[in-house]
Amino acid sequence: MKRREFLTTAIGGATVAVCPGAEARPNHEPAPEAVGMLFDSTLCIGCKACVAKCKEVNDMPPVIDAEQQSWDSARDLSGDTLNVIKVYTDGSGETKDAEVDGFCFEKRSCMHCVDPGCVSVCPTTAMRHDPITGIVTHHSDVCIGCRNCMMGCPYNVPQFEYDELYGQIQKCQMCNQAGVERINNGQMTGCAEACPTGATLFGSRTLLLEEAKQRLTLKPGEIYNYPRGDIASPDSYHEKQVANYKQHVWGEKEAGGTNVLHISAVSFDKLGMPPLEERSASSIAEGVQHTLYNYLALPAIVLAGLTYVVKRNTDSDSDGDES
């Protein structure tokens, strides 16, 4: 750890010293025509129809638990599961959407970040961000299996198929990868289509963000007509009493924003969302990286780091010889 801390400090200091103009680029902006989803935790009943539909669309096998041997019981994302419903409980767990003594459901799948870390760290462009739709896709034909994307994702989304001989990265591609292409064919995502309550709603990010903000203005207990399917042309509506929403649309701003938005009556830190600043990690890392290359300073900094490591190792060996 000490060596890592030293190197980080040394490289940071050297960067500023050698490249005084090193600075982050701005976050990428959401694509004007980006598509996405709005997950409203207060509407989710935990039926997991979205999980089953996701497996059907993506041709993925069930995950059979040793205790529950008769049905898919995936508890987390994996190489075989691109979408999972998790349960929050507190205390007696009696009241839906109550943070204390309550429970609620939370969906986990790719957030389709506006400024995605997975794309930024991928050395081969296997991870790509579509500038029109905003969808982030993985392309196995050019993936070298380095797994940088797993480290670059703040949501722990990309999963590696460790149990396969020629394992690949798997993640939700918003049902728009080669061979599926639901969005390109004018369909909505599988999970939004299957959701019976509209908890997972598909559509334009702009419209979904407006809808999310509108819901946050509603009074708890009042009746609202919730759309189901695609927000631009809902399959149907259903009336429901409004829950006590937290005044926060997750994904409006976090790390540059996401095309998948979440709202909830339970705070997002309790639902396991990571603490994120508004500035994306990609904007900082790419800004510094480009500056380093512009100043042709990177080789000198790497050499300084390697020299330190070799010197430390040599000193330790000498110390060992003397004892």
* Contacts with ligand SF4, residue ranges (CB under 6 A): 44-50, 53-54, 57-58, 82-83, 85, 105, 107, 109-113, 116-118, 136, 153, 155, 157-158, 171-175, 189-191, 194-195, 197, 199-200
CB-wise, 181 or 315, nearer to ligand SF4? 181
CB-wise, 202 or 209, nearer to ligand SF4? 202
Spatial distance between the Cα atoms of 279 and 258, rounded to a whole number of angstroms = 12
Least distance CB 134 / ligand SF4 (angstroms):
10
Least distance CB 50 / ligand SF4 (angstroms):
3
Least distance CB 300 / ligand SF4 (angstroms):
31
**Count of residues making up the chain:** 323
The single-letter DSSP state of residue 78 is B
Least distance CB 51 / ligand SF4 (angstroms):
7
CB-wise, 22 or 175, nearer to ligand SF4? 175
Helix (H) or strand (E) holding 311: helix 298-322
Is 22 within 8 Å of 292 (Cβ atoms)?
yes
CB-wise, 109 or 291, nearer to ligand SF4? 109
Q: Is 295 left (phi over 0), alpha (psi -120 to 50) or beta?
A: alpha
Q: Measure Cα distances from 20 to 10, 293, 294, 298 in Å.
A: 15, 13, 12, 14
Spatial distance between the Cα atoms of 309 and 315, rounded to a whole number of angstroms = 10
Least distance CB 218 / ligand SF4 (angstroms):
19
Least distance CB 283 / ligand SF4 (angstroms):
13
In this structure, what token pair is assigned to residue 245? 């929403």
Angle at CA of residue 250, ends 211 and 90, nearest 5°: 110
CB-wise, 58 or 148, nearer to ligand SF4? 58
**What pairing do the DSSP bridges indicate for beta strands 102-108 and 84-89?**
antiparallel
Query: Cα 4 to chain center, whole Å?
Result: 27
CB-wise, 176 or 291, nearer to ligand SF4? 176
